């Protein structure tokens, strides 16, 4: 039997097939087909059959990741969607809480609402803040609204009523009226998509669900048809923003849950591989051409958040807590009035960095790396592309070196230093700013550009371990094979330290778990493979932002106190103070139901511990403090388990180079991962 | 300009920005009142030991210069020890207006003062004659609430509990306010931690040099942008509806002189100080001028003391912008918006086609006060609202936002209703509120709030009801603000823009229409397709499409010939 992970990106669709018996991994990429992503999936399954002898009927698990929904929001190419809102509130999604994203700009505009005003309707109904009906929704009113929707010929409908998260009856009645008038309407209701308070964020999330629903629906249909035709009977599962899997039916009804699944797959892959190698606490950084995604995992688990964003729009669904900044290989370096800026503007794919020779003239971070000798000009993307080193060097020299009075190498290093500082700021946002000390984590770079800079970032943050995983090019697809089915459910009920009891908690959590158990059993999970994670969102009475606290292990009579203590401690760690004497409120009770999938065992490499590795060559590279040095280069695929390399050195593979800085030591582990030790002494500032 | 290496300027500059943002997010997440936790009417900043602002979060512009002025006063006048925390709100001693309580924490390293970490939060109530402390008819600062001159709330890490008790005894909802003060302390503590990390990394002296370079760099960029505008003196006037006591307009007059990157803003011609609370404290005037000028420069310049250096301010004594104590000042925000808008209008004359229409030029502060059902407990609900911005050469004005001097979030309807016996019945854009133009002014909006329980009273401090935002280059004015009270009995009263402590009863509806921005360019030049879009979106009415924009729409499409004829007709009519 084979496990298959498929990740649809904008350019390539990645495949990872894992033989469940032997543990052998097959990976490849096929070109994506943006107008019909399922065709690329089919092409991959055919290739697997034709070239690797894998019968489609032998695929026992098929997991799929897609950015179709994400791209349709980013490109504003979603469905023609209608919004139905409580009377008096249809413009809430356009007013966008009055906020401006930045100051001192007379020309500023807000992001356009995904549903224009002409397609936003109001229903005369109202639920109050206790969940009581203030204005009943009459049958006539529901029918009137339904007719408007039918007449408008919408592809999707989103319904967001005030306080529907406390009382969903009006939203459901509207939905039913619309379905009665048009049985194939795609309707999303906010009490189902995002049952949390704050109407703007909830409405926007619900609108987004509708906005992407027809595309996802169509994709699911195509996939099921094509895979059925080729004889692949495996149940299809899709990776969601929380890093867990869901079935096709849930994907069709809740496509908004896939919006942030792109970075989630990579992070889950990184965490899975790192955990297998013994690194449970990691900061993963996925650096591509234009952006850097950063995520922190503790105890082998990624942290989740419900405050995410796609483009300029809030998305209120559980998601892997990924922080994205505009720092990539294509980030442009510019000197503006004597100061050096790198990014967030990017040269993009076209023209790309100067060294690509596609007409780029301004130096990028990649051009700096080429100038410093870090990237082999003849082995870029495995040699498929040859780089113009002289052009890169000229651009660095003339645009950065001359204005700052530096030679090309110094200027290139300055670009790297500024970019590293930007990346460090991003990493601090997910670590220090949330109360975690980065020194307690290993840094895990993946994506094309991350491993060039990991060493300098680690020095700056005093991180002593860097972990470069196997299969960096298809980590997202691999990650899909290493994760579980995950459904999260939430109930809001206000209690405080005076009124709460272990029994009340137990009743709430047991109720949530009952539903989740039924759902997971429906997916064929055995009782023994189901587990639950209980957490509670807590705050001081009067605050509005909660901290999500995992339920501590404590006997029933001590549970309430133990939860309060855990909350005080987290509050102090995150915010520098706690009010131990004040009442603490329990707000949202969350359970994640995990259907534990049998994970493939990653297969250790053949080969013996070899001690020092053999370089394949050497070239000049420029490093902080020591300047130019003849630097040995290694081919990653030839490194056997146990191989050791002392920096400075360059370890190359198709699509990525690891720069091993002076004083850093690298060891290859039994799976082929590379672990780098960075000296723990506080590095000197000038080191970067 | 201090010679610091360019990489360090960038690295440290960005670090400071991220540190002050983190301070502000800490404040929001730990705050108790809706005005801080939902609306974020707050600011956080770091200062050098001389009180020069070295980084401030991208939030309320009016706080930008204000905190700077107060920080300098703290740095100069108060002998600071490690772990001290200074509190103040006194408007004549560094403060802005009574509800803005500032917290300062000196940051020491090895016994040396290296920085001051600061937070400013707008508090829901600080006492005085009107709940929310925003009376529109106060005659002196004593009526406006509790004043706290600069004093140490913590001495060497130990709280002075008498100060908190004193505050508690003078305000209406102490459980919120004291929680919010704690949130401010959290924020300055985070600022201290972050700055000390920088000191650890760079060393005290080298860091001070780099920080000086960061300020010089912002100054250089400001001057470069300002020098692009033609030298000259440019004047403009703007009016407040009234001073809240006498029903006569209050005039703001500015003359802005540009010379090779230097700016002088002179208020000669501005009205004498007024009876009501629309005078401006020192720190407020500075912030309004800094912001008005800052809008002429690139938004990406890092905001710090360097941005202020090219600007000189001239204020005649005894005027609205330099009142004598104890003139009341709590409504100064309205005046600040008007000052900033007037500076922008003056500088329009230096900008050729690149002019902008007038913005809403007000912040509407709304305070309702009453009791909870079946309870003796009283509540104070304080909210702020905005309106539309002016159209520009590049496009329509921003819809529904705060004014030039503010940037906050609204309070979600659900947050209002969960917390108070109030019901928000409309929060929608207003058709035809954006000033017509080839680029339309931004739209205003309705906010209608029903009072649900027993008897209470409400205070409103608004503006722009008599002087709607001006259009430019042929653009028309935006819609003015309107305020009404619709009694449960069926009677409707039109109210002036400023109201203090008006009794309200269960079932009454407080009806507010927020202003739209002024238009840019002649509406007859607006592309018919954009007029049609506005019409289909009900952003303009059929009458406006036909009679103001001259666009004839039949069956959902533009009739090009009829439109041309209609426009010709309207042009002749002028």
**In this complex, do A163 and B417 lie within 8 Å of one another by their Cβ atoms?**
yes
pLDDT of residue A611: 66
Helix A389-396 with A408-430: angle, nearest 10 deg: 80
Distance of CA A672 to the CA centre of its chain: 25
Which pLDDT band holds residue A163 (cuts at 50, 70, 90)?
A: very high
* Contact present, A483 and A597 (Cβ < 8 Å): yes
**A454 and A544 housed in the same domain:** no
Residue A540 in domain: yes
With a cut of 80, say whether residue A70 has pLDDT above it.
Answer: yes
With a cut of 70, say whether residue A683 has pLDDT above it.
Answer: no
Name the residue range of residue A168's domain. Answer: 1-256
Residue A541 in domain: yes
Which has the minimum average pLDDT: A145-159, A324-338, A600-614? A600-614
Which of B421, B426, B463 shows the shortest CA–CA distance to B336?
B463
pLDDT one-digit tens code per residue, A116-130: 999 999 999 999 999
Residue A33 CA: distances (Å) to CA of A13, A228, B541: 9, 19, 45
Other CB atoms within 10 Å distance of the CB of residue B471: 27
**A642 and A584 housed in the same domain:** no
Which of A11, A8, A14 shows the shortest CA–CA distance to A37?
A8
Residue A632 in domain: no
Which has more confidence, B402 or B362?
B402
Give SS3 for B239. strand
Which stretch of DSSP H or E encloses residue B565?
helix B560-573
**In this complex, do B424 and A88 lie within 8 Å of one another by their Cβ atoms?**
yes
Residue with tokens 């006048």: B77
**A112 and A213 housed in the same domain:** yes
Enter the pTM of the model: 0.90
Distance of alpha carbon B484 from alpha carbon B493, whole angstroms:
5
Residue A628 in domain: no
All residues of chain B having their beta carbon less than 8 Å from the beta carbon of residue A98 are: 385-386, 400-402, 408-410
Which has the minimum average pLDDT: A19-23, A292-296, B390-394? A19-23
ipTM for this model: 0.93
Distance of alpha carbon B434 from alpha carbon B444, whole angstroms:
7
**In this complex, do B61 and A107 lie within 8 Å of one another by their Cβ atoms?**
no
Residue B534 CA: distances (Å) to CA of A117, B116, B399, B547: 9, 50, 13, 14
Which has more confidence, B39 or A58?
A58
Number of domains in chain A: 3
Beta-bridged to residue A359, according to DSSP, are none
Q: Which residue of A has its CA nearest to B418?
A: A129
Instruction: Kindly report the CATH number assigned to the domain that includes residue A551.
Output: 3.30.1490
DSSP string covering B318-344: TBTTBPPTT---TTHHHHHHHHHHHHH
DSSP string covering A279-342: --SEEEEEE-SS-EEEEEEETTEE-EES-EEETTEEE-S-EE-EEEES-STTEEEEEETTEEEE
pLDDT of residue A474: 81
With a cut of 90, say whether residue A88 has pLDDT above it.
Answer: yes
Which has the minimum average pLDDT: A160-174, A299-313, B202-216, B287-301? A299-313
All residues of chain A having their beta carbon less than 8 Å from the beta carbon of residue B38 are: 544
Mean pLDDT of A136-158: 97
Q: Please state whether beta strands A292-298 and A59-66 pair in parallel, antiparallel, or not at all (unpaired).
A: unpaired
Mean pLDDT of A214-228: 93
Which of A95, A94, A85 shows the shortest CA–CA distance to A126?
A85
All residues of chain A having their beta carbon less than 8 Å from the beta carbon of residue B295 are: 104-106
Residue A448 in domain: yes
Mean pLDDT of A589-597: 90
Question: Any residues with CB less than 8 A from the CB of B242 and at least 6 apart, and which?
Answer: B248, B249, B250, B276, B496, B497, B498
pLDDT of residue B505: 97
Residue A42 CA: distances (Å) to CA of A29, A47, A56, A261, A364: 12, 9, 10, 21, 37
pLDDT of residue A494: 82
**A502 and A459 housed in the same domain:** no
**A96 and A156 housed in the same domain:** yes
Task: Enter the DSSP assignment of B524.
Answer: G
* Contact present, A469 and A297 (Cβ < 8 Å): no
Cα-trace Rg, chain A: 26
Residue A627 in domain: no
Q: Which residue, of A595, A626, A651, is where some domain finishes?
A: A595
Distance of alpha carbon A571 from alpha carbon A546, whole angstroms:
10
Of all residues in chain B, what percent carry a pLDDT higher than 90?
Answer: 84
Mean pLDDT of A296-325: 85
Helix A408-430 with A450-461: angle, nearest 10 deg: 70
pLDDT one-digit tens code per residue, B478-488: 999 999 999 99
Distance of alpha carbon A65 from alpha carbon A237, whole angstroms:
9
Q: Which residue, of A564, A595, A626, is where some domain finishes?
A: A595
**A584 and A440 housed in the same domain:** no
**A518 and A563 housed in the same domain:** yes
Cα-trace Rg, chain B: 24
Which pLDDT band holds residue B1 (cuts at 50, 70, 90)?
A: very low
Task: Check the CA dihedral A99-A103-A106-A108 and report its sign.
Answer: negative
Residue A392 in domain: yes
**A329 and A458 housed in the same domain:** yes
Which of B180, B198, B227, B181 shows the shortest CA–CA distance to B17?
B198
pLDDT of residue A687: 35
**In this complex, do B428 and A88 lie within 8 Å of one another by their Cβ atoms?**
yes
> Looking at chain A, how many residues does it have?
688
Question: Any residues with CB less than 8 A from the CB of A244 and at least 6 apart, and which?
Answer: A483, A484, A485, A486, A487, A592, A594
All residues of chain A having their beta carbon less than 8 Å from the beta carbon of residue B25 are: 433
Q: Which residue of B has its CA nearest to A134?
A: B423
Q: Which residue, of A256, A275, A302, is where some domain finishes?
A: A256
pLDDT of residue A685: 39
Residue from the list B7, B402, B429 with its beta carbon closest to the beta carbon of A418: B7
Q: Please state whether beta strands B311-314 and B364-371 pair in parallel, antiparallel, or not at all (unpaired).
A: unpaired
**In sequence order, which ranges of A449-501 are alpha helices (DSSP H)?**
450-461, 475-481
All residues of chain B having their beta carbon less than 8 Å from the beta carbon of residue A574 are: 26
Q: Between vectors from CA A235 to CA A231 and to CA A238, what angle results, nearest 5°?
A: 120
**In this complex, do A575 and B30 lie within 8 Å of one another by their Cβ atoms?**
yes
All residues of chain B having their beta carbon less than 8 Å from the beta carbon of residue A685 are: 201-202
Tokens of residue B182, six digits: 């704690």
Which pLDDT band holds residue A490 (cuts at 50, 70, 90)?
A: confident
Tokens of residue B373, six digits: 């059902």
Mean pLDDT of A619-624: 96
**A56 and A170 housed in the same domain:** yes
**A373 and A388 housed in the same domain:** yes
Task: Enter the DSSP assignment of A267.
Answer: H
Mean pLDDT of B281-303: 92
pLDDT of residue A620: 96
Exposure string over B164-199, b if 16+ CB within 10 A, otherwise e: beebeebbbbbebbbbbbbbbbbbbbbbbbbbbebb
Other CB atoms within 10 Å distance of the CB of residue A615: 16
Of all residues in chain A, what percent carry a pLDDT higher than 90?
Answer: 58
Which pLDDT band holds residue B69 (cuts at 50, 70, 90)?
A: confident
Mean pLDDT of A630-639: 92
Which pLDDT band holds residue A688 (cuts at 50, 70, 90)?
A: very low
* Contact present, A168 and A44 (Cβ < 8 Å): no
pLDDT of residue A571: 87
Report the gap between the CA of B207 and the closest CA in chain A (Å).
12
Report the gap between the CA of B202 and the closest CA in chain A (Å).
7
Q: Between vectors from CA B383 to CA A126 and to CA B392, what angle results, nearest 5°?
A: 100
**A453 and A326 housed in the same domain:** yes
* Contact present, A296 and A321 (Cβ < 8 Å): yes
Mean pLDDT of B128-155: 94
pLDDT of residue A39: 93
Residue A37 CA: distances (Å) to CA of A283, B132, B194, B278: 31, 57, 46, 62
* Contact present, B96 and B64 (Cβ < 8 Å): no
Which has the minimum average pLDDT: A361-365, A579-583, A664-668? A579-583
Give SS3 for B45. strand
Other CB atoms within 10 Å distance of the CB of residue A660: 26
Residue A62 in domain: yes
With a cut of 60, say whether residue B75 has pLDDT above it.
Answer: yes
Report the gap between the CA of B98 and the closest CA in chain A (Å).
22
Of all residues in chain B, what percent carry a pLDDT higher than 70?
Answer: 99
Mean pLDDT of B122-134: 92
Give SS3 for B117. strand
pLDDT of residue A125: 98
**A252 and A264 housed in the same domain:** no
Residue A537 CA: distances (Å) to CA of A316, B87, B199: 15, 32, 36
* Contact present, B360 and B479 (Cβ < 8 Å): no
Q: Between vectors from CA A222 to CA A218 and to CA A225, what angle results, nearest 5°?
A: 140
Residue A153 CA: distances (Å) to CA of A119, A165, A182, A208, A342: 10, 28, 10, 18, 47
């Amino acid at each position: 039997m084979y496990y298959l992970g498929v990740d649809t990106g904008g350019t390539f669709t990645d495949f990872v097939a894992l033989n469940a018996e032997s543990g052998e991994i097959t990976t490849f990429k096929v070109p994506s087909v943006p107008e019909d992503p399922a065709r690329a999936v089919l092409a991959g399954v055919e290739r697997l059959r034709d070239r690797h002898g894998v019968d489609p009927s032998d695929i026992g698990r098929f997991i799929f990741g897609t950015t179709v929904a994400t791209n349709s929001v980013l490109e504003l190419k979603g469905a023609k969607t209608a919004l139905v809102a409580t009377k008096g509130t249809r413009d809430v999604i356009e007013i966008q809480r009055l906020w401006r994203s930045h100051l001192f700009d007379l020309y500023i505009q807000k992001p356009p609402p995904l549903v224009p005003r002409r397609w936003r309707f109001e229903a005369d109904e109202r639920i109050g803040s206790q969940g009581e009906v203030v204005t009943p929704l009459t049958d006539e009113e529901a029918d009137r609204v339904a007719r408007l929707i039918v007449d408008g010929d919408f592809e999707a409908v989103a319904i967001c009523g005030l306080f529907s998260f406390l009382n969903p009856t009006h939203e459901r009645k509207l939905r039913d009226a619309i379905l009665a008038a048009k049985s194939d309407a795609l309707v999303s209701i906010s009490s189902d998509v995002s049952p949390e308070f704050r109407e703007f964020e909830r409405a926007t999330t619900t609108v987004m669900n509708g906005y992407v629903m027809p595309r996802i629906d169509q994709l699911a249909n195509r996939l099921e048809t094509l895979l059925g035709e080729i004889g692949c009977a495996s149940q299809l599962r899709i990776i969601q923003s929380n890093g867990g899997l869901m079935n096709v039916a849930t994907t069709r009804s809740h496509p908004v849950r896939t919006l942030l699944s792109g970075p989630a797959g990579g992070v889950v892959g990184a965490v899975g591989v790192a955990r297998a190698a013994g690194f449970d606490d990691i900061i993963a950084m996925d650096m591509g051409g234009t952006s850097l995604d950063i995520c922190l995992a503790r105890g082998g688990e990624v942290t989740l958040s419900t405050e995410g964003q796609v483009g300029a729009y809030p998305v209120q669904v559980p998601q892997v807590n990924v922080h994205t900044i505009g720092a990539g290989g294509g980030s442009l370096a510019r000197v503006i009035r004597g100061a050096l800026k790198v990014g967030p503007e990017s040269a993009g794919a076209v023209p790309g960095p100067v060294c690509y020779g596609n007409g780029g003239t301004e130096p990028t971070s990649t051009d700096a790396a080429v100038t410093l000798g870090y990237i082999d000009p003849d082995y870029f993307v495995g040699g498929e592309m040859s780089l113009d080193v002289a052009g890169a060097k000229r651009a660095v020299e003339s645009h950065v070196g001359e204005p700052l009075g530096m030679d090309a190498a110094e200027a290139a290093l300055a670009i790297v230093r500024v970019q590293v500082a930007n990346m460090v700021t991003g990493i601090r946002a997910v670590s220090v700013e949330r109360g975690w000390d980065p020194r307690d984590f290993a840094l895990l770079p993946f994506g094309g550009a991350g491993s060039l800079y990991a060493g300098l970032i680690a020095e700056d943050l005093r991180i002593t371990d860097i972990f470069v995983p196997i299969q960096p090019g298809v980590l997202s697809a691999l990650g899909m094979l290493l994760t579980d089915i995950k459904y999260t459910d939430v109930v809001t009920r206000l209690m405080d330290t005076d009124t709460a009891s272990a029994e009340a908690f137990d009743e709430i959590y047991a109720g949530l778990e009952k539903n989740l158990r039924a759902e997971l059993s429906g997916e064929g999970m055995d009782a023994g493979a189901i587990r639950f994670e209980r957490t509670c969102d807590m705050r001081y009475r009067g605050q509005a932002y909660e901290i999500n606290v995992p339920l501590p292990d404590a006997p029933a009579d001590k549970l309430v106190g133990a939860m309060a203590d855990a909350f005080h401690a987290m509050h102090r760690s995150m915010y520098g103070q706690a009010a131990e004497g004040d009442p603490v409120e329990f707000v949202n009770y969350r359970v994640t139901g995990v259907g534990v999938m049998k994970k493939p065992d990653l297969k250790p490499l053949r080969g013996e511990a070899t001690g020092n590795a053999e370089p394949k060559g050497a070239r000049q590279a420029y490093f902080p403090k020591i300047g130019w040095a003849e630097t040995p280069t290694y081919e990653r695929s030839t490194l056997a388990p146990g191989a050791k390399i002392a920096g400075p050195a360059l370890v190359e593979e198709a699509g990525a180079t690891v720069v091993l800085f002076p004083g850093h030591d690298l060891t290859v582990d039994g799976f082929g991962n590379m672990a780098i030790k960075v000296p723990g002494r506080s590095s000197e500032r000038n080191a970067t | 300009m201090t010679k610091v290496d360019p990489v360090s300027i960038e690295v440290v500059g960005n670090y400071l920005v991220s540190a002050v943002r983190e301070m502000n997010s800490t404040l929001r997440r730990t705050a108790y009142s809706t005005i801080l936790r939902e609306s974020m009417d707050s600011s956080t900043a770091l200062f050098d030991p001389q009180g020069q602002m070295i980084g401030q979060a991208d939030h309320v512009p009016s706080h930008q210069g204000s905190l700077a002025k107060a920080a300098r006063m703290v740095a100069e006048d108060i002998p600071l020890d490690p772990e001290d925390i200074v509190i103040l709100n006194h408007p004549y001693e560094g403060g802005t207006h009574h509800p803005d309580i500032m917290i300062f924490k000196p940051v020491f390293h090895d016994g040396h003062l290296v920085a001051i970490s600061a937070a400013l939060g707008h508090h829901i109530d600080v006492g005085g004659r009107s709940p929310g402390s925003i009376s529109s008819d106060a005659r002196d600062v004593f009526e406006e609430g509790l004043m706290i001159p600069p004093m140490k709330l913590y001495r060497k890490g130990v709280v002075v509990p008498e100060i908190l008790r004193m505050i508690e005894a003078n305000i209406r909802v102490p459980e919120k306010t004291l929680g919010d003060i704690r949130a401010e302390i959290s924020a300055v503590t985070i600022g201290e931690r972050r700055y000390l990390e920088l000191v650890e990394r760079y060393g005290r002296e080298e860091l001070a040099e780099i920080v000086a370079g960061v300020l010089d760099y912002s100054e250089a960029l400001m001057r470069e942008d300002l020098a692009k505008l033609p030298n000259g003196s440019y004047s403009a006037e703007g009016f407040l509806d009234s001073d809240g006591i006498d029903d006569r307009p209050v005039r703001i007059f500015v003359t802005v002189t540009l010379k090779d990157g230097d700016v002088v803003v002179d208020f000669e011609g501005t009205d004498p100080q007024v009876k009501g609370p629309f005078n401006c404290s020192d720190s407020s005037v500075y912030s309004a001028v800094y912001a008005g000028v800052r809008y002429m420069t690139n938004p990406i310049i890092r905001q710090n003391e360097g941005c202020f250096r090219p600007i000189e301010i001239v204020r005649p004594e005894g005027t609205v912008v330099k009142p004598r104590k104890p003139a009341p000042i709590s409504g100064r925000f309205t005046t600040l918006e008007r000052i900033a808008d007037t500076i922008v209008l003056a500088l329009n004359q230096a900008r050729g086609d690149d002019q902008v229409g007038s913005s809403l030029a007000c912040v509407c502060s709304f305070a309702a006060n009453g009791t909870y059902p079946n309870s003796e407990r009283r509540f104070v609900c304080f909210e702020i609202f905005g309106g539309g911005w002016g159209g520009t050469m590049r496009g329509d004005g921003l819809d529904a936002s705060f004014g030039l001097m503010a940037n906050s979030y609204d309070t979600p309807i659900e947050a209002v209703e969960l917390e108070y016996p109030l019901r928000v019945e409309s929060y929608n854009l207003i058709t035809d509120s954006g000033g017509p133009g080839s680029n339309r002014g931004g739209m205003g909006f309705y906010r209608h709030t029903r009072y649900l329980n027993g008897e209470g009273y409400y205070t409103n401090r608004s503006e722009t009801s008599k002087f709607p935002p001006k259009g430019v280059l042929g653009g028309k004015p935006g819609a003015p603000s309107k305020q009404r009270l619709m009694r449960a009995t069926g009677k409707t009263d039109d109210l002036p823009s400023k109201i203090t402590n008006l009794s309200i009863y269960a079932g009454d509806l407080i009806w507010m229409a927020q202003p739209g921005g002024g238009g840019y360019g002649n509406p007859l030049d607006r592309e018919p397709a954009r007029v049609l879009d506005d019409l289909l979106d009900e952003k303009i009415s059929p009458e406006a499409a036909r009679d103001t924009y001259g666009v004839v729409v039949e069956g959902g499409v533009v009739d090009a010939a009829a439109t041309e004829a209609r426009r010709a007709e309207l042009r002749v009519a002028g």
